[in-house]
């Protein structure tokens, strides 16, 4: 997509350009050090025990939470919002965006971490959505009673990213985040943030006249569907979720 009416940053000679990059780099480094300090504090948070036997729905039927670790000690679970009985085109664009970003799991596995999607809907229906998206991420359905147990005192309708630690046959929750906190799953937004036009969303402090639009839900929909749908449909992949 090109449009010559879009604004451009001011033009400078290389020395002046580099001087501004150097000034920005100092801020970037300070931000990196602060993120490191926050991560260190996060690692030192206390933890709370959860029922290791909490039932999930998986490819082998009812599965206890502890089995979702796949034998590893740490588990990162993304809680996917779901609209039971509705077609693929009406499923959450934000959760589609988040879950479709995490594909290569080998790096996590090398650090004794399992990543899985915990979908807040029936497994048999929702796993077809995973397959439609071309994901190979471990996928579980979380029954309503289990949602209440695992998301105690939290809005069960929201997306969440939750970290668990296994100690023998016991499971502990160590951290959780929601809303923009789940952007840690993303690489597309992080890359967009490096470009002159950013995410092209109305809330951004952007160059005057920059392209900005109201995307439907976090992550963005185009022509009534979450963005990752279109290449899958073009490849002839069925988005049928029932039967």
Q: Is the dihedral of CA 128, 129, 130, 131 positive or negative?
A: positive
| CA 147 to each of CA 63, 127, 140: distance values in angstroms, whole numbers, following the listed order | 14, 18, 12
**The whole model's pTM is what?**
0.89
pLDDT digits (tens, 9 = 90+) for 215-240: 655 566 777 788 888 888 899 998 88
Q: Order the strands of the 113-119 sheet from edge to edge.
A: 48-50, 170-178, 160-167, 74-80, 113-119, 139-141, 55-58, 61-64
pLDDT digits (tens, 9 = 90+) for 80-126: 999 998 998 889 888 998 888 888 999 999 999 999 999 999 999 99
Q: Which helix (H) or strand (E) holds 164?
A: strand 160-167
β partners of residue 178:
160
Q: In 3D, which of 115, 133, 137, 143 has the Cα closest to residue 219? A: 133
Domains of the chain: 45-243 (3.40.30.10)
Span 173-189, mean pLDDT? 90
Predicted confidence at residue 189, as pLDDT, reads 86
């Amino acid at each position: 997509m090109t449009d010559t009416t879009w604004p451009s940053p001011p033009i400078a000679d290389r020395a002046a350009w580099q001087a501004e990059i150097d000034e920005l780099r100092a801020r970037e480094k300070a931000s990196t050090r602060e993120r490191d300090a926050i991560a260190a504090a996060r690692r030192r948070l206390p933890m709370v025990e959860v029922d290791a036997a909490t039932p999930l729905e998986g490819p082998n039927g009812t599965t206890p939470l502890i089995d979702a670790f796949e034998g590893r000690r740490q588990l990162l679970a993304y809680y996917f919002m779901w609209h039971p009985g509705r077609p693929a085109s009406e499923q959450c664009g934000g959760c589609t965006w988040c879950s479709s970003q995490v594909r290569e799991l080998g790096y996590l596995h090398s650090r004794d971490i399992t990543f899985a999607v915990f979908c807040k809907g029936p497994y048999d229906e929702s796993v077809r959505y995973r397959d439609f998206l071309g994901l190979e991420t471990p996928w579980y359905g979380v029954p309503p009673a289990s949602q209440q147990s695992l998301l105690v005192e939290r809005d069960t309708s929201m997306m969440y990213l939750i970290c668990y630690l296994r100690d023998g046959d016991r499971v502990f929750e160590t951290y959780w985040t929601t809303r923009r906190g789940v952007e840690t799953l993303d690489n597309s937004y992080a890359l967009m943030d490096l470009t002159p036009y950013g995410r092209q969303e109305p809330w951004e402090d952007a160059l005057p006249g920059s392209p900005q639009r109201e995307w439907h839900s976090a992550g963005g929909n185009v022509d009534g569907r979450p963005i990752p749908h279109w290449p899958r449909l073009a490849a002839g992949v069925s988005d049928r979720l029932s039967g």
